[in-house]
Amino acid sequence: MDILAEQPPPFQVGVLLIDGFPLMSYASVVEPLRAANLLDGRPLYRVRNIPAAGASATSSGGAVLAANDRIGRDTDLDLLLVVAGGDPASFRDERVFSWLRHLSRRGVRLGGVSGGPVILASAGLMTDRRMAVHWEHAAALAEISPSLLVERSLYVIDRDRVTCAGGTASMDLMHALIAEHHGTNFARLVSDWFLHTEIRPSGGPQRAGRIERYGTTNRAILDAVEAMENHVADPLGLDQLARLSDVSARQLNRLFREKLGRTTMTFYRDLRLEKARNLLMNSPLHLTEIALATGFANSAHFSKAHSKRYGKPPSTLRK
């Protein structure tokens, strides 16, 4: 039997580089993927540099990166990340916008780093999606659309969109993505390679750490909660959470009951309801849109869960 033939193909990551991009953000995206390949001994990831300007892209510090792929190519990307800095709101290349929309229609996961989320929003690709952006560009997003769901977070993973504030937060994002693909233990090996031992949650410094919030240092619980926070709109099953936490489903449930007083999936539902209540009070989205953004099948499902948890329907928060 050919063992090599059984190995899955590399996960294809495109990095769309806008001239003036921050080099630290770019390096913090691609270096963890390189290290993952090195540590595993096989090509888990393939990175493609795609300059928006053509043959090369120039960083804010003057570094020049050559292209190894191009816009418009009918490529087999699994994820495309837009990396931008400077004044991304002034970027108005319809050719780029059209290509991004084409990739979205094909089901390619799209993301933005630093100012990259602004470009995704300008292309009309962040409607009804929670998002993060570097604080420097938050005002530009408000001008594009006041209804955008901008969070003061290091990064946000919302279904088919991945957005990140940039800088060193990009390493926290890549840790989450590598853990999603290959488990938390391997992701920690990659982070340790860069002495990135203090991995921050997506909520970042605006929120207390998970240990303080939930009163536990149990690694399996913390890993499961991280996975839950990264999959609000597309909830994972108990078996998936257990796999990401490197314990059995039965053991994970036992730990949640002992440490947090709830089953794993009850905790998960309550976490999504808290996110939904925040959207109810701080966004103009309709109930159905909020339901879908927080992993409920429809507004009726959401209303029933909300009423059971809080004793009143979600519509009362809008009055």
C-alpha 162/C-alpha 183 separation (Å) is 18
pLDDT tens column, 46-95: 999 999 998 999 999 999 999 999 998 767 899 999 999 988 988 999 99
pTM beyond cutoff 0.85: no
pLDDT at residue 119 in the model = 96
C-alpha 26/C-alpha 189 separation (Å) is 20
For the chain, where are the E strands, in sequence order? 11-17, 45-51, 56-58, 64-66, 79-84, 109-114, 130-131, 149-150, 155-158, 161-164
Instruction: Give the model's confidence band at 246: pLDDT under 50 very low, under 70 low, under 90 confident, else very high.
Output: confident
Please indicate whether residue 319 or residue 109 has the higher confidence score (pLDDT).
Answer: 109
Burial of 139 (0-12, 13-18, 19+ CB in 10 A): exposed
Question: Domains of the chain by range and CATH?
Answer: 8-173 (3.40.50.880), 208-312 (1.10.10.60)
| DSSP conformation class of 10 | P
For residue 128, which of 293, 246, 319 has the smallest C-alpha distance? 293
pLDDT tens column, 185-240: 899 999 999 888 777 767 654 345 666 677 788 889 988 998 898 888 889 999 99
